[in-house]
Amino acid sequence: MDKAILGRKVGMTSIFDETGLSIAVTVVEAGPMTVVRKKTPERDGYSAVLVSFEDAPKNQNKAEAGVYKKANVPAGKILREFKFSQPDKFEVGSKINCDIFAGGDVVDVSAVSKGHGFSGVIKRWNQRRLKMTHGTGPVHRSVGSTGANSTPSKVIKGLHMPGHYGHDNVTIQNLKIVKVDAARNVLLIRGAIPGPKGALVTVKQSVKSK
């Protein structure tokens, strides 16, 4: 992986390309990230770059406070590490901005999806409701039968039932960056990405694109 950055989802809009075609894009306020530490195989057993995102006060444990103090950089709100293929080009204290990407790059975007709480089968699995007349009773949105009572005499594993819906780690692959606005630290990514507005997102170089 050569490129990766953290950001916040701002929302969706649409722009026009050179041919006048309207393109739906997601606006991501990406970076800047500060390099806090470089992990090496000799000391840590693997190579990685530890970065901080969003300079903001936060309750930190002694380990995190020690990392920031040793690097002599302001404490950040988010602390993440990335396994770049060329970690030597990053120096402790340097900034990683959104201009590491360019228009046309293909990326994978990860975030925590929007949470919907405890939901029924109609909202969670898009099932149909029962008819509203002819004595159906107060079970119009119920789950219905969950299996036979003789064989196998149990609820089959994986059956679609009510439960917790959303708030999962989701990755959308092979999305295209339409435009990079380095002056405002903004990426315009074609299509929708997971998470509500303001969600923390990770934009990485695609692992499956040619």
Distances in whole angstroms, Cα of residue 80 to Cα of each of 29, 35, 183: 17, 10, 24
Please write the tens of the pLDDT for every residue from 110-152: 999 999 999 999 999 999 998 888 888 888 898 888 888 888 8
Same domain? For 122 and 173 the reply is no
pTM of the model: 0.81
Asked if the structure places residue 200 within a domain, the reply is yes
Same domain? For 147 and 160 the reply is yes
Q: Which domain holds residue 191?
A: 1-31+108-115+169-210
Query: Please, which residues bridge with residue 46 across strands?
Result: none
Helices (H) and strands (E) in the chain, counts: 3, 12
Asked if the structure places residue 102 within a domain, the reply is no
pLDDT at 165 > cutoff 80: yes
Same domain? For 3 and 24 the reply is yes
pLDDT at 160 > cutoff 90: yes
The CATH number assigned to the domain holding 205 equals 2.40.30.10
Q: What is the pLDDT of residue 198?
A: 92
Q: What is the pLDDT of residue 5?
A: 92
Same domain? For 134 and 147 the reply is yes
Pair 52, 6: CB distance under 8 Å: no
Percent of the chain exceeding pLDDT 70 equals 99
Asked if the structure places residue 101 within a domain, the reply is no
Asked if the structure places residue 103 within a domain, the reply is no
Better-predicted residue by pLDDT, 201 or 58: 201
* Among the listed residues 43, 38, 53, the one whose alpha carbon sits nearest the alpha carbon of residue 83: 38
Q: What is the pLDDT of residue 173?
A: 94
Q: What is the pLDDT of residue 26?
A: 94
pLDDT at 57 > cutoff 70: no
Please write the tens of the pLDDT for every residue from 30-52: 879 988 888 888 888 888 888 98
Same domain? For 184 and 139 the reply is no
Q: What mean pLDDT is predicted for residues 58-64? A: 78
Q: What is the pLDDT of residue 120?
A: 94
Q: What is the pLDDT of residue 58?
A: 66
Average pLDDT of the chain to the nearest whole number: 89
The CATH number assigned to the domain holding 136 equals 4.10.960.10
Cis peptide before 32 (omega within 30 of 0): yes
The CATH number assigned to the domain holding 58 equals 3.30.160.810
Same domain? For 45 and 77 the reply is yes
Q: What is the pLDDT of residue 44?
A: 84
